[in-house]
Amino acid sequence: MPLIDGKKVAKEMRERIAHKVEVVKNQTGKVPGLATVLIGEDPASMVYVRNKNKTCKELGFNSFQHNLPETTKENDLLALVDELNQNDQVSGILVQLPLPQHIDSQKVLEAIDPGKDVDGFHPVNVGKLVTGTATLVPCTPAGIIELLNHYSVDIEGKHAVVLGRSNIVGKPVSLLLLNRNATVTICHSRTKDLPVVTRSADILVAAVGKANFVTGDMVRDGAVVIDVGINRVDGKLVGDVAFDEVEPKAALITPVPGGVGPMTIAMLMQNTLKAFTASIQPS
């Protein structure tokens, strides 16, 4: 089975991070701190935030949870972000998206100190990603590159096709692949002759948000297939890739669940550790 085991890779990463936290704690008496901000009671967001806080505890991080009502005013959220920016105990700030309609998400993301922006969504960090100098990179795209590295997938000179151009997944993973010298094609809902494009991919990343969208005829033999999609069908989690059709053709493929998903939280912890380490360096 050419399976990429994201669960195992993420576990190994969490163990390495926990060890580093232990070492730095012994040296300095300090540990990284992650602040999560959740507005409202969206069930999926509640699960994500709970898992992030649980992982913090497992790895020896401090976690600061701010769960606020749906009716929270934009100004009050901005004031909280400012308070967290000033708080030395907080190394990283994560504002769980999506935010309610009455709050301007971009304004909130731009209010986060770029050095504490562990989601990597602040324009300063996006700019650094474009110039290839980023340290805080969006978690899911960073997790994808980590998986490719772990399985020794050669990226340089390869044709990487990315399905999706969101700011959270499609664009940043395209930039990371480009920074690793892949030839990158970004596809979206207006792309013409999509199967022709996807069939030319050595590395195919699917981040569309449509269950079983990538079918066997869209994939060339020997491609590496990364399925980012999380879709619920009849109560079951399925990816954007029709796994049963594509798996026999792929050199390597991520399952859903257990592929990209577990990497996202591991990379968030890695970013928080990075932000913490930078904050305790003597300036």
Q: Which residues bind ligand NDP (CB under 6 A)?
A: 140, 163-166, 168-170, 187-191, 194, 207-210, 228-231, 260-261, 264
Residue 46 C-beta: closest distance to ligand NDP, Å: 16
Residue 144 C-beta: closest distance to ligand NDP, Å: 9
Closest CB to ligand NDP among residues 209, 216: 209
Tell how far CA 208 is from the center of its chain: 15
Closest CB to ligand NDP among residues 102, 232: 232
Residue 238 C-beta: closest distance to ligand NDP, Å: 10
Closest CB to ligand NDP among residues 125, 140: 140
Q: Catalytic residues, which ones?
A: 52, 96, 119
Distance in angstroms (rounded) separating the CA atoms of residues 13 and 7: 10
Q: What residues contact residue 31 under an 8 Å CB cut-off, 6+ apart?
A: 21, 24, 25, 60, 61, 62, 276
Beta-ladder partners of 203: 160, 224
Cα Rg, the chain, nearest whole Å: 19
Closest CB to ligand NDP among residues 124, 230: 230
Residue 115 C-beta: closest distance to ligand NDP, Å: 23
- Cβ-closest position to ligand NDP: 166
Question: Which DSSP string do the residues of 31-93 spell out, in sequence order?
Answer: --EEEEEEES--HHHHHHHHHHHHHHHHHT-EEEEEEE-TT--HHHHHHHHHHHHH-TT-SEE
Q: Rounded to the nearest 10 degrees, how much is the dihedral formed by the CA atoms of 9, 11, 16, 20?
A: 140
Tell how far CA 255 is from the center of its chain: 16
